[in-house]
Amino acid sequence: IRIYEMNIKDYIILVIFSLGLGWFLVESKPTYKHTPTNDALALGEAAIKAHIEAQIDTPTTFSVANQTALFIGDSHTSNRTQGWQTQLSKAVGFKMINPSVGGKTTYWMLEMAHLKLNNKIDYCFVYGGANDMYSSHITPQEAVDNIKGIARMCTGLGVKCVVLTGFDPVKCTRTSNVKYAGKYSKFQELLLSEYMDGAQVIDTRVVARTDCWDGLCHMAPSGHKKIAEKVMKDLAFQRI
């Protein structure tokens, strides 16, 4: 009986001690106050966070001034005074090589790449396919394969190859060739969906019908400007 009574007493003492200890811990919890030091640290953390967010939101651009760019194309790249390639080169500081000739197909462009490409060129821009798609004997896949051939040459020489899709043929062209817009659209679809052997494809369907001088959308300076600006934006080129 005495052992049982002692256990009860011990239990009561233990409960009272536990309650007292709990009260002491709660009442003695330290209170943190804002101090100048804490405020300075908070401001520093806010400044760092704002800097990181600014870096994420601000696209990084880089200079290509004095680098050499080869432009291979047809009439859409042969306007040597106000063409997109001229506007681009002036804006970023490219040394431009432009053998483009109106009326040529991607077969001619492939041959031109063999003649003009070398390891001293930094960029090769390819904008073609319109004449291929206007003809009845060149398929969209054949034209894409020709451009892939240019891309492979560029890769072997350490040249960055950039391919432009051209304007939107459905929106921009007005021609009696009823198959032209559909073939051109298919050609663009292949450019954007297939692996282009290392080339970067830029979707330049940013031209409006009002930027076209004729039914085949030979562009006014406003259209060429839109193409040049799209290329600069997508490649993050820095203006000089």
In tens digits, the chain (240 residues) has pLDDT values of 444 445 666 666 666 766 666 666 556 555 545 555 555 555 566 665 665 565 555 569 999 999 999 999 999 999 999 999 999 999 999 999 999 999 999 999 999 999 999 999 999 999 999 999 999 999 999 999 999 999 999 999 999 999 999 999 999 999 999 999 999 999 999 999 999 999 999 999 999 999 999 999 999 999 999 999 999 999 999 999
Which ranges of the chain does DSSP label H, i.e. alpha helix?
A: 2-27, 36-57, 84-92, 106-116, 130-134, 140-157, 169-172, 180-193, 221-235
Closest CA to 61 of 231, 181, 217: 231
β pairing state of 68-73 and 123-127: parallel
Burial class (CB in 10 A: 0-12, 13-18, 19+), 3: exposed
Which residues share a beta bridge with 123? 69, 160
Question: Residues 72, 109: contact at Cβ < 8 Å?
Answer: yes
